[in-house]
């Protein structure tokens, strides 16, 4: 069975601080995909990133960066110089096998509610 754990239920920081959201996953698949999605107050989930299990290279996109470590089964997400608009619930997700989120769907964590205070 697959499982995603986001231990941080809620994080509150002041604007411009850096913040890291933790994600730990469990899977028996040797090939799998990891994702982060953002759910702003409007409610619509927005795709942020996909990473496959063979690619441990970290990725940076503007103020966002992701650290994938297979040795610790973690896929953490860092926001640098946070802004009020980053306030949202962030979900880490996992899919197994070769479907990449198709036939077996995505297994989501419970999410981390990020509050950026001005």
Partner 1 sequence: DTGVSQNPRHKITKRGQNVTFRCDPISEHNRLYWYRQTLGQGPEFLTYFQNEAQLEKSRLLSDRFSAERPKGSFSTLEIQRTEQGDSAMYLCASSLAFRGKSGELFFGEGSRLTVL
Q: Which residues bind partner 1 (CB under 8 A)?
A: 4, 33, 35, 37, 42-47, 50, 91, 93, 95, 98-111
Sign of the dihedral through C-alpha 114, 9, 54, 29: negative
Q: Which is nearer to partner 1, 19 or 34 (CB)?
A: 34
CB of 98: closest distance to partner 1 in angstroms? 8
DSSP string, 88-117: EEEEEEEEETTTSSSTT--EE---EEEEEE
CB of 41: closest distance to partner 1 in angstroms? 12
68 CB-side CA count, 13 A: 19
Q: Which is nearer to partner 1, 14 or 47 (CB)?
A: 47
CB of 32: closest distance to partner 1 in angstroms? 10
């Amino acid at each position: 069975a697959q499982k995603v754990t986001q231990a941080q239920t809620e994080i509150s920081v002041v604007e411009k601080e850096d913040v890291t959201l933790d994600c730990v996953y469990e899977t028996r698949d040797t090939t799998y995909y990891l994702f982060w999605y953002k759910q702003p107050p409007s409610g619509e989930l927005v795709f942020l990133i996909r990473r496959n299990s063979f690619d441990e290279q970290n990725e940076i996109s503007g103020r966002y960066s992701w650290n994938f470590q297979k040795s610790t089964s973690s896929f953490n997400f860092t926001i640098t110089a946070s802004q009020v608009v980053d306030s949202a619930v962030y979900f880490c997700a996992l899919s197994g096998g070769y479907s990449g989120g198709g036939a077996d769907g995505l297994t989501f964590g419970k999410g981390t509610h990020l509050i950026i205070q001005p």
